[in-house]
Amino acid sequence: MSWKATAFVKPLEVHADGSPLTAREKLILFVLADSYGCAWPSVRKAARASLTSLSRFMELIKRMEAKGTISIERAEGKSNRYRFPLLRESEQSEKRPVRKSEQTVPTRSEQTVPTQSGTEPLSSLKVTDIAPDELAPPIPLRSWDEILEGIAKKDREAHERYKAGVVK
Whether residue 66 is contained in a domain is answered as yes
Whether residue 165 is contained in a domain is answered as no
Q: Residues near 25 by Cβ (< 8 Å), separated by ≥ 6?
A: 60, 63, 64, 69
Whether residue 115 is contained in a domain is answered as no
Whether residue 101 is contained in a domain is answered as no
**Structural domain harbouring 82:** 2-92
Arithmetic mean of pLDDT, 24-50: 84
The least confident of 5-9, 84-88, 155-159 is 84-88
The CATH number assigned to the domain holding 63 equals 1.10.10.10
| Contact by Cβ (8 Å): 88, 105 | no
**Confidence at 94, pLDDT banded by 50, 70, 90:** very low
Whether residue 147 is contained in a domain is answered as no
**Confidence at 90, pLDDT banded by 50, 70, 90:** very low
User: In the predicted model, is pLDDT for residue 55 greater than 90?
Assistant: yes
Number of domains in the chain: 1
Whether residue 157 is contained in a domain is answered as no
pTM of the predicted structure, to 2 decimals: 0.51
Q: CA-based angle 123:125:128, to the nearest 5?
A: 140
Whether residue 10 is contained in a domain is answered as yes
Whether residue 161 is contained in a domain is answered as no
The least confident of 36-40, 80-84, 126-130 is 126-130
